[in-house]
Copies of this chain bind each other. A is one copy, B any other.
């Protein structure tokens, strides 16, 4: 084995670690951190929405009045007050009574994905994922050695029904294959990353009925569910069946730096995931949990805060959408966003992976569609975040993107 660095020790990375590639998004983010770039590539919340004053007050309160709660070793399952609050929120949203022992606090919802992958499936086991899908989930499932089986995501409504999100006809067909028996079906039903699409209420009910009929567990990941611009979010899939594990997080509503998320699910699964978490990090930051529950429990404040964040994102989404159509005209296909943090666009005839370095040269960035693909051909798709950049920045980014695109178009086609 040849050492890859000047270290005297030879590299002895395991086979499973060698199979892990670095996240393309992470590598791209490095590229787009050049000074002067207006990057729409990341999935970073707007820092102006971070409730830093409120968090500073909460930190002072817990550290000065109950320091052990924030600083001592705590239960692997999580802070009892946070577990109780999450159970209560889940009860309200699903209409199904949920107990605190159905909740495991995780180090962000990313850890929930890692734990569920290891606890629900063995290496080689098939799991159903959306295509395109959330890259962090695909990474966690691949790191656990799982076999990804792709179901297409309908990008925009077609025909008379507004069907978007996971293609349930395709899912039904897959689950009808008795030889498949997937360990779970993973979905982001609200404002999916990367497509921004959501499953309608009737489709959520249908997904639940498919899960019941085929006796398969659904992992419902809900990071963007609260960022709803319409004001009338449909109930979660978990409202329709018990065969659901729900992942939640404060990363998009309060602050990702706290690394606080949770799993809500059947008690046998919470018990198994808790045993796994013991060996993984003992427990999630006690200080982070204490701050999260302090802010989430203040429902009047939290509702107002969420309203502000959502209104700002809705405004930016509209600006980005209008600007794309204004600058690119018929060269772009893109549906407006109804929530979340992303627009998903198509540039017919353009290879967006080849476009990216040119866009960076012109001072902007996005994530090319193939980064999110399992099997799908997404060569002409791209994901644009409207969350991090203000309106003027978004307009300028689109102007730069249009200039980069002009450069590509004016070149002779390759032989």
- The chain A residues found within 8 Å of chain B, CB to CB, are 3-5, 7-17, 20-23, 26, 42-45, 47, 50, 52-53, 55-56, 59-60, 63-64, 67-74, 76, 107-108, 110-111, 113-114, 118-122, 125, 136, 139-140, 142-143, 183, 215, 217, 242-243, 251, 255-259, 266-269, 272, 275-276, 278-288, 291
Contact = CB atoms under 8 A, between A and B. Distances in A.
A282 B110 contact: yes
B272 A257 contact: no
A310 to B, nearest CB: 18
Contacts of A43: 73
B259 A282 contact: yes
Given A7-B242, A242-B9, A52 B73 contact: no
26 contacts: A4-B268, A5-B268, A11-B266, A13-B120, A14-B121, A14-B183, A26-B278, A50-B72, A56-B60, A56-B63, A56-B64, A59-B60, A70-B257, A71-B255, A72-B255, A74-B257, A107-B285, A110-B280, A114-B279, A114-B281, A140-B279, A143-B280, A256-B286, A259-B281, A259-B284, A259-B286
Contacts of A45: 72
Given A52-B67, A111-B281, A143-B279, 18 more contacts: A5-B267, A13-B120, A13-B272, A14-B125, A14-B183, A20-B279, A47-B67, A47-B68, A55-B63, A59-B60, A110-B282, A114-B279, A118-B143, A136-B279, A259-B282, A259-B283, A259-B284, A288-B288
Nearest to A120: B14
Contacts of A11: 266, 268-269
A225 to B, nearest CB: 19
A308 to B, nearest CB: 16
Given A59-B60, A257-B70, A17 B276 contact: yes
Contacts of A44: 72-73
**Stoichiometry (number of copies):** 2
Contacts of A143: 118, 276, 279-280
B52 A266 contact: no
A17 B23 CA distance: 26
